[in-house]
Chains A and B, each alone.
Chain A
Amino acid sequence: MTIMTYRQALHDTLRAEMLRDESVFLMGEEIGVFEGSYKITAGLLKEFGEKRVRDTPIAEEGFAGAAIGAAMLGLRPVVEMMTINFSMLALDQIINHAAKIYGMFGGQASVPLVIRTPGGGGQQLGATHSQNIELFYAFVPGMKVVAPSNPADAKALLLAAIRDDDPVLFLENLALYNTKGEVPDDDVPAEIGRALVTRPGRDLTLIGYSRMAHVASEVAAELAESEGLDIEVVDLRSLRPLDRDTVIESVKRTHAAVILEDDWLTYGIGAEVAASISDGAFDYLDAPVRRVAMAEVPMPYAKRLETAALPSRDDVVTAIRQTLAAVGRRTVSAGVTQS
């Protein structure tokens, strides 16, 4: 184990995979000479040269598509989209092509492509640079979407994504880059499509991914400390495929769920998780499933407004308290004594 930042885990994993496999190469805007907008690729141009660390023109559709075409011929491009907002310029290539090619041609060509991109909010970047639109990709069969919340998963899921033969949208988050954690020294890829119970508990299930899984762990720890609450945390890690079973099994144990997400609530990732809980754990619920998500506005620039629009720890704590209160009312009216 080594303690390092999420950024360092990404950097080291990219480097190790490039050393391991000649067919792995990087493409993106400002990843080489500029060393990456968020410095994930710092030093890699110097080490690997222009062939394998390729600065692209500002042409998201063009270079994403070129990466897909290169992947069809067996290379393993890892594309950096400077932020997920810009990936919308490449939607046609990602959704109409990367996600379709394997199926549309009857399994004759796969697309071993990784698109790394950070979601965000909280940096005062305004409406066009603060969105969390991973849902667009998670909606589409043929795509795989992973969303690590900590440095260890950043490594394990990036290893998995690069070695996978399908297009993987690898969601990072601006607010996570400087977070630290223990990272195993071994190269063990995570299993895409698996959520993890990162903290066991009995009172309520807190579900999140990416930054909000990180927030979930912190809130659960704080409430355990301050109030003795025993909250279980499920880190989704993979948005497509979605590991419903892990969520359902947890909710069956705790009988209450709060879902945290940095995207918008209506039609968001949490809506799918909540619907899944309704499908799989309806009879087990002692309170309505709550969601804590971004306010449904174009993100404002002004700090006070931006802070209000983003889900905060206080928002999460409030939702937890209200959910537990609802559990209490319901169990009292049904004559249940919570043990």
Chain B
Amino acid sequence: MAIQARQRRSEVAAHSVAAQAAGPEPAVSDEQLRKFYRDMLLVRRFEERAARAYTEALVGGYCHLNLGEEAAVVGLMAALRPADYLFTNYREHGYAIMRGIDPKQVMAELYGRVDGVSKGWGGSMHMFDITHRLLGGYGIVGGQLPLATGAALAIDYRGGDEVVMCTMGDGTAAIGAFHESLNIAALWNLPVVFVVINNGLGMGTAVTRSSAEPELYKRGAAYRMESAPVDGSDPVAVCEAAVRAVESARGGQPYLLEVITERLRGHSVVDPAKYRSAEEVERLKHEDPVPHFGARLLASGVLDDSGLAAIEADVKALVDEAADFAASSPQPEVSTLFDYTYATPVANDSRRLPGQPLFEPEPFPASGSVASGSVASVPVASVPVASVPVASVPVTSPAMNGAGA
């Protein structure tokens, strides 16, 4: 399976080189190349720090990392304008940072603190920032697809020129929402790019075991939607492919882009990935896209050793700062627990903590109080004696209590 992914990556890369040979591609500036590397390393170090925080029990819940997918993350995000929207899934830390959200806020969200990007309500899987137009990480596989389609519908409705990018994993191609969303987007010519990050594995299930057509970009044909695969280990190739996809969507033609990547580690932090052979793990280390891209820039003279070291130091400082910030940010107050159930305040909204009664017990009627009303005329003496448990307990009957209220 993984061998297949590697094979597909190189085939796709060769194809794309051939395409470039046919016509000159706009050159990527050295500055952009250095930024790609710096961003990839930032995602790498951030995720390593997140994994460490998880083992230190500073991060709870699930924690899915972008390790191995840095080139895809960085290349895709570089293709978006600030006003464009991103919907993504639960493997999203890198995307959040690359959309421009401060790594401190992303880390604070992992820590479940008030300064987190979702104020501690979302955690690793549910980051959201309207300012940077990250319209959510979503924890339910495929949940973001209909939403992204609808966001594109809203843009179209208003005649805007923004684009929605919607990323997902390869496992998502099997879910019904994938079909329904791509169909609707194509039917209505919506400005949305669907991006499948095909890392070859849905948790431990190989894409060849979950999709009858494992070359997922080909699914676009079912909707007459333009689509293409790209080598996800090369940020330049990813960015160029994403720019084409985004511009197609901006012109009202939705697009399906398949980014072929490999996940370096397990599905989440706690997954030891025993479904992988020792040889494969070794190969993945050897083919790790981050050092590979660094070496490429070194070989081409875009970066030298001191440049690499400076980026490493810069990124390390950012990540350390993020972790320190997260650790010092307070936990949300319990008094805020009911703040976000409804956007429009509503009568009879429940604000009851577990164990609290729905109704506060009514005070016992004052001794000698005279009741009125139909049942109030019951003399105390008429209450069956057996129903009065203990003499010292204030004697009430349904009737008395009812009358006293």
Tell me if B378 counts as interface (CB < 8 A to partner A): yes
A residues near B (Cβ < 8 Å) are 25, 51, 56-57, 59, 61-75, 77, 92-93, 96-97, 101-112, 141-142, 144, 164-166, 191-194, 202, 238, 241-245, 248, 252, 255, 276, 279-280, 282-286, 331, 333-339
- A249 — nearest CB in chain B belongs to which residue? B405
Q: Which of B57-65, B70-78, B152-160, B253-261 contacts A (4 or more CB under 8 A)?
A: B152-160
Given A65-B147, A70-B157: A142 in contact with B341 (beta carbons within 8 A):
yes
Chain A residues lying within 8 Å of B176, measured Cβ to Cβ, are 61
- A330 — nearest CB in chain B belongs to which residue? B398
Chain A nearest CB: distance from B389 CB in Å? 15
Q: Which of B180-188, B200-208, B235-243 contacts A (4 or more CB under 8 A)?
A: B180-188
Q: Is the CB of B130 within 8 A of A164?
A: no
Q: Is the CB of A93 within 8 A of B154?
A: no
Chain B residues 303 to 358 lying within 8 A of chain A, measured CB to CB, are 339-344, 346-350, 357-358
Chain B, interface size: which category?
Answer: 35 or more
Q: Is the CB of A106 within 8 A of B375?
A: no
How many A-B contacts at CB < 8 Å in the complex?
213
Tell me if B122 counts as interface (CB < 8 A to partner A): yes
Chain B residues lying within 8 Å of A105, measured Cβ to Cβ, are 118, 121-122, 126, 128, 136
Contact of A107 among B138, B340, B359, B362 (CB under 8 A): B340
Q: Is the CB of B359 within 8 A of A65?
A: no
- B182 — nearest CB in chain A belongs to which residue? A62
Give Cα distance in the complex from A102 to B129, angstroms: 12
- B125 — nearest CB in chain A belongs to which residue? A104
What are 23 of the A-B contact pairs (CB < 8 Å)? A51-B157, A56-B184, A61-B177, A62-B149, A65-B145, A66-B147, A68-B146, A69-B147, A69-B150, A77-B150, A92-B143, A93-B143, A97-B140, A101-B136, A102-B342, A106-B116, A193-B349, A238-B347, A248-B359, A255-B402, A334-B378, A335-B379, A339-B374
Chain B nearest CB: distance from A67 CB in Å? 6
- A57, A62, A101: most-surrounded residue (chain B CB, <10 A): A62
Q: Is the CB of A72 within 8 A of B151?
A: yes
Chain B residues lying within 8 Å of A70, measured Cβ to Cβ, are 150-151, 153-154, 157
Q: Is the CB of B402 within 8 A of A65?
A: no
Chain A nearest CB: distance from B256 CB in Å? 16
Q: Is the CB of A104 within 8 A of B122?
A: yes
Chain A residues lying within 8 Å of B155, measured Cβ to Cβ, are 73
Q: Is the CB of B151 within 8 A of A69?
A: yes
Q: Is the CB of B184 within 8 A of A62?
A: yes
Chain A residues lying within 8 Å of B87, measured Cβ to Cβ, are 69
- A58 — nearest CB in chain B belongs to which residue? B180
Q: Is the CB of A104 within 8 A of B121?
A: yes
Q: Is the CB of B118 within 8 A of A284?
A: no
Contact of A66 among B153, B362, B382 (CB under 8 A): B153
Chain B residues lying within 8 Å of A238, measured Cβ to Cβ, are 347-348
